[in-house]
Structure 1
Amino acid sequence: MVSIPDLENYRKDAVAGFLRTRRARIDPDACSPAFDPVGDRRVAGMRREEVAWAARISFDYYVKLEQGRMLNPSHRC
């Protein structure tokens, strides 16, 4: 018997994984108001706050996107 994948979870996991991998590839922007040159970084790349600031979206909204809690995120024009 062939099992049908859970498309809703696949979509959430795909979006969350995409955002995490891209965030890890980007070097922090020293011009960002969220940039902290003194603090120790636990992950490579930008912090969530820095990505949200650069994307001009709220930190909470970005966290929901990255955690896969937004099923139908809106786009900005």
Structure 2
Amino acid sequence: MDNRSQVREFLTSRRARISPQQAGLPSYGTRRVPGLRRAEVAQLAGVSVEYYSRLERGDLSGVSDHVLDALARALRLNDAERTHLEDLARAAGPGS
């Protein structure tokens, strides 16, 4: 599995396991899939939906430590998961 696929799988699986209630967000409407919407993760992490979507598509190149920390908090990652996310970002390399 390549890095982009690993990033995509990791972020989508972590997003799916958190309910809006667990994240302190109001729940409205029915959801087609479990967990948070991309827009909700972006809001919690303090980034744009477009930027989070790019990250979730597997493009972690050049992502800052600040954004990684914000994602880890938004997705409620434990220490091992946070380290894995950092490893994925490191493997993606610097921004172009």
TM-score, normalised by the number of residues in structure 2:
0.58
Native 8 Å contact 1:12 1:71 kept in 2 = no
Tell which structure's C-alpha radius of gyration is larger. Answer: 1
Q: 2:13: which partner in 1? A: 21
Post-superposition offset of 1:42:
0.8
Post-superposition offset of 1:69:
3.4
Alignment partner of 1:40 is 2:30: yes
Post-superposition offset of 1:74:
2.3
Number of aligned residue pairs: 66
Unaligned ranges ≥5, structure 1: 1-8
Q: 2:61: which partner in 1? A: 71
Aligned sequence identity (%): 42
SS in 2 for 1:64: helix
Distance 1:59 1:74 in 2: 16
SS in 1 for 2:10: helix
Cα-to-partner distance string for 1:3-29 (whole Å, 9 max, x where unaligned) = xxxxxx711111111000000000114
Unaligned ranges ≥5, structure 2: 70-96
AA partner of residue 60 (structure 1): E
Native 8 Å contact 2:16 2:35 kept in 1 = yes
TM-score, normalised by the number of residues in structure 1:
0.70
SS in 1 for 2:44: helix
More helix by share: 2
Query: Structure 1 stretches (4+) deviating beyond 4 angstroms?
Result: none
Native 8 Å contact 2:20 2:27 kept in 1 = no
